[in-house]
Amino acid sequence: MFDSIYTGMSGLMSYSKGLSSIGNNVANLNTAGFKGSDLEFLDLFYRHQYSGSPDQQSSPYAQGSGVTTGATVTRFSQGDFRQTGNLLDAAIDGNGFFVLMKDGKTIYSRSGQFEFDDQGVLVSREDGAQVAGLEGGGLTTISLAGRRSVAATATTQVSFTDSLSVGSPSFEVTNISLYDSLGVQHVLTLALTNNNAATPGSWTYSLNEGSQVLTTGEVRYSGSGTPVAGFERRVFTYSPGNGARATAVTLDFSASNAFSSATSTLKVGSQNGKAAGFLSSAELDAQGGLVLSYSNGDKINGPRLALANFVSTSVLQQQGSNRFAVFGEARPQLGTAGQGVFGSLRAGSVELSNVDLAREFSELIVVQRGYQASSQVISAANEMIQQLGEIRGRR
């Protein structure tokens, strides 16, 4: 009967550990990226007793020794998603883990709550671990170093579109923007004069900055209204005189035309110059790539987030703070979102805990009943021992 007490005690100890596991799951119900776990229960060793002769032995009597706890198995099922509005948050829909680096160690996580620190390095908001990107097949930090601004681009081409009216004696295109090599914007005016009386389809023009004439030229149209080859472009050298270097600029009329319309509508279709730009926002796209937007309208793509995948998730051990470390010598497969076995990325979202509260409550009832039953075994064994003592006392 004493062994029954020890058997019941093993049940109490094991079920208390089971309660601790369930409590941890429930406590992390709202922890982003958390993966619930299950505690394994194992029966202890058995003692076997045989009866009968060696030639005719009956089935052995087996006496168990109770229960013990085994490994804690992590459930890596997909959690739900929640939009956060943070442009640097990300959630993995499918296989993969974010790769983080801290204190010289590489760790893995499903929690994609990121931000840039004071040094401009992308880190986890939870503990400041650096978020790894993938470039050239290797891991790299994702940093804003050298990316906080973009240089100005001098205008080298101004393209015109729409049409000139054959009946208009003159026309002006105003507010033409042109950027010098320092990124300074200059506003120009193109003054056109109908020269059809001298040369059919001919328009002469002058490009002016205030009262200064920068260049003059002629654009000529055929009978069908399209520009005549050799007269559709004009190259001139622009020297603003403010310390910016001289730049060759092409005036391009190849997309314009001339018709017998009521009015002239010629305008600038595009120009390729820009002022210097300063970083205005940083966000992650659906492929995990860093997209940097600047005040001058430029967008630059930076490194892509590195993802790691394991053939067996059993090599991962929970470390706290939504982190997993590799147990043993297993090596992950590295890649990026949407590539091969890796899942897609949901930018601006986080993955929630995969804990199912209804399931945990059901397990809680089972553990509670098991604990109560084990205590009853101990109580029953104790009463039987007391009764045995009373029998001895009556002799």
- The confidence score (pLDDT) of residue 168 equals 92
Residue given tokens 């020269």 in the structure block: 195
The total of other beta-carbon atoms located within 10 Å of residue 243's CB is: 9
Region for residue 341 given its phi and psi (left: phi exceeds 0; alpha: psi -120 to 50; beta: otherwise): alpha
Residue given tokens 């922890």 in the structure block: 31
Superfamily of domain 157-271: Flagellar hook protein FlgE (2.60.98.20)
Task: Inform me whether the pLDDT recorded for 175 exceeds 80.
Answer: yes
User: Given pLDDT bands bounded at 50, 70 and 90, which one contains residue 395?
Assistant: low
Q: Where are the domains positioned within the chain?
A: 2-76+355-393, 81-149+280-351, 157-271
The size of the chain, in residues, is 395
Q: What is the pTM of this model?
A: 0.76
- The confidence score (pLDDT) of residue 25 equals 94
User: Given pLDDT bands bounded at 50, 70 and 90, which one contains residue 142?
Assistant: very high
The whole-angstrom separation of Cα 195 and Cα 199 is 6
Structure tokens at 288: 């995990």
Q: Give the HSE-up count for residue 367: Cα atoms under 13 Å, Cβ half-sphere.
A: 22
The DSSP output letter for 49 is E
Residue pLDDT, tens place only, 30-41: 999 999 999 998
For residue 217, give the H/E element and its range: strand 212-220
**b/e sequence 137-157, b meaning 16+ C-beta within 10 Å:** eebebbbbeeeeebebbbbbe
- The confidence score (pLDDT) of residue 328 equals 82
The whole-angstrom separation of Cα 337 and Cα 344 is 5
**Amino acid sitting at position 223:** G
For residue 26, give the H/E element and its range: helix 2-27
Average pLDDT over residues 214-221: 97
Q: Is 19 helix (H, G, I), strand (E, B) or coil?
A: helix
The total of other beta-carbon atoms located within 10 Å of residue 313's CB is: 15
The whole-angstrom separation of Cα 118 and Cα 277 is 21
User: Given pLDDT bands bounded at 50, 70 and 90, which one contains residue 55?
Assistant: low
Over the chain, what is the mean pLDDT?
91
User: Given pLDDT bands bounded at 50, 70 and 90, which one contains residue 54?
Assistant: low
Structure tokens at 379: 């109580």
The whole-angstrom separation of Cα 336 and Cα 307 is 5
Q: Are 124 and 138 in contact (CB under 8 A)?
A: no
Residue pLDDT, tens place only, 294-329: 999 999 999 999 999 998 988 999 998 889 999 888
- The confidence score (pLDDT) of residue 333 equals 93
